[in-house]
Structure 1
């Protein structure tokens, strides 16, 4: 059966070579030829558990990558008409990585030299903690005095406080840049997420750094927590369904944790 598996791997690699990049081909070739030395196959069962044990000491991202390559190969076997029960094919839970928050010094510099459109894009995302798609979807009638209504994931809406500086700038901006329906639009056509992302990146590029809208959203959450905002409030502002998402998304520094501990624990008073 190992000979059969090697034959099918060779067929699959030929398919990958024709349809994927050379780097993907080489990666799959290495993984599959490594895995076949450990995979156990009997009758209609392929057990990759021995291979999972062989790579268990690697980091989770690497394990997930290797298991994903195997899973693609097994899908190929199925399209070839082969029916196997796969054992040990459980998904690997990869820990989420966080972008570094942008320093306030860099944000202030970018705002100072930004065009009006660039300034608006940075301020809307950073002062409100928005996803790029949420910023692109803001309509003029969503702005209601001191508040703004945001439509987030799953068409769920949340009402956010409009920072006084942002409110003042929007009023000034619309006087010289009148819009028909959307806050971000040109010639009556809404700007997509890519164009707003470009505005943000262009503003920071002037100072030699690469910053994404997602980094600004993360910076919003990080600085809010560091300045004493309650995690429940930050979670609501970000539009997270579960507070656990906010806990993953916003790492508090050890210094702040110690400060809060010393402030809150009764023995420290």
Structure 2
């Protein structure tokens, strides 16, 4: 790793507090561009390029079949790197200053219905073993708090305040937010904690949601579990923790929650990120409109 790249890594880690996963993604994108320069531009240094080389890289990425969304992410990483080089006075201008992101078609994700949620929560309702209670709690937490998969996996026991009925969540870029917990979720949590306390081996005692071996859950396990549960009640193509987060936001909006409140609950940095969820709630508004307006009859 070059001196500037190492300094950039340290900057993202120590000053920006980025997670290890984000750090790797940013660095991999910059290194990918560096490899392209080595192969196609006579080993031109990162600090010597102009936007011409960036544009050529974008063309090569498009031709290789990479999606516009992925390309935008790569260029965003590159733009961040050049902002850093400008900050430490390694370059005199940012070659990506006037770059405009590629257009990405908005995909409207279909949320689960309230009936599908109720049906899933009734699965294993008479089972009282550790795994059944834990799995139901995972579904309940996703649906009633809208947290991300990584946020759920990294929840600590100390993040739950039973007295105030609040949950502390550490989101992207270590941004902390507080989410209310429903009484029904707390009841289920109590049942889970009783089962958890009887486990013989706990390798990660500070972690709230554990595997049957007392270890922190993997992202793959959580995805497969959600997919498996919802496959029994829904024919939707995509069944994932993110769809549950989408469902949380959509159901709130359908029932009168304002966009800013949903934004805070989701932990979004900007309102534009939250607005994608209004597409689903618009269909609900259309039903109400057609039913209520005199001219729609």
User: How high is the TM-score relative to the length of structure 2?
Assistant: 0.56
When residues 65 and 167 of structure 1 are mapped into structure 2, their CA distance, relative to the original with a 3 A threshold, is: farther
Q: Provide structure 1 residue ranges, at least 5 long, that are not aligned to the other structure.
A: 1-44, 49-63, 73-88, 264-269
Q: Deviations over 1:47-70 (max 9, x none)?
A: x9xxxxxxxxxxxxxxx9997116
Name the residue aligned to 2:114: 104
Q: Does 1:240 align with 2:259?
A: no
Q: Does the residue aligned with 1:123 lie in a helix, a strand or coil? A: helix
TM-score, length-scaled by structure 1 = 0.61
Deviation track 1:114-153 (CA, whole Å, cap 9, x = no partner) reads 4222211111111100111111111111001200100100
| Distance in 1 between residues matched to 2:193 and 2:239, nearest whole Å | 26
Match of 1:253 in 2: 282
Distance 2:226 2:65 in 1: 38
Query: Secondary structure in 2 aligned to 1:250?
Result: helix
Task: Call closer, same or farther: CA 1:192–1:65 in 2, change over 3 Å.
Answer: farther
Rounded to whole Å, the distance in 1 between the matches of 2:253 and 2:214 is 38
Return the match for 1:185 from 197, 207, 210. Answer: 210
| 241-250 or 152-161, larger mean C-alpha shift | 241-250
Between the two proteins, the alignment pairs up a number of residues equal to: 187
> Moved runs in structure 1, 4+ residues, more than 6 A?
64-67
Residues 111 and 203 in structure 1, CA contact (< 8 A), matched pair in contact too? no
| Aligned equivalents of 1:234, 1:205: Cα separation in 2 | 27
Equivalent in the alignment of 2:184: 165
Q: 1:255 to 1:149 in 2, by over 3 A?
A: closer
8 A contact 1:133–1:193 mirrored in 2: yes
The 1:223/1:66 distance shift into structure 2, 3 A limit, reads farther
Report the CA distance between 1:202 and its aligned residue.
Answer: 1.8
Q: In structure 2, the residue corresponding to 1:159 is in which secondary structure?
A: strand
Distance 1:71 1:220, change over 3 A: closer
Larger radius of gyration: 1
What whole-Å deviation, never above 9, does each CA across 1:226-269 have from its counterpart, x for those lacking one?
10011110000000000111112332225526858xx9xxxxxx
CA offset digits 1:205-227 (Å, max 9, x no partner): 23364621111100100010010
Correspondences of 1:200-215 after superposition (within 5 Å) = 200-207=226-233, 209=235, 211-215=239-243
Query: Contact conserved, 1:121 with 1:199, CA < 8 A, in 2?
Result: no
Task: Specify the SS of the correspondent of 1:125.
Answer: helix
Deviation at 1:195, TM superposition (A): 1.2
Query: In 2, Cα distance between the equivalents of 1:235 and 1:220?
Result: 12
Report the secondary structure of 2:122's partner residue.
helix
Q: Could you tell me how far apart the structure 1 residues matched to 2:225 and 2:251 are?
A: 23
CA RMSD of aligned residues (A): 3.2
Per the alignment, do residues 256 and 140 of structure 1 end up closer, same or farther by CA in structure 2, a change over 3 Å counting?
same
Q: Which has the higher strand share?
A: 1
SS of equivalent residue, structure 2 residue 256: coil
Counterparts of 1:258 and 1:206 in 2: how far apart (Å)? 28
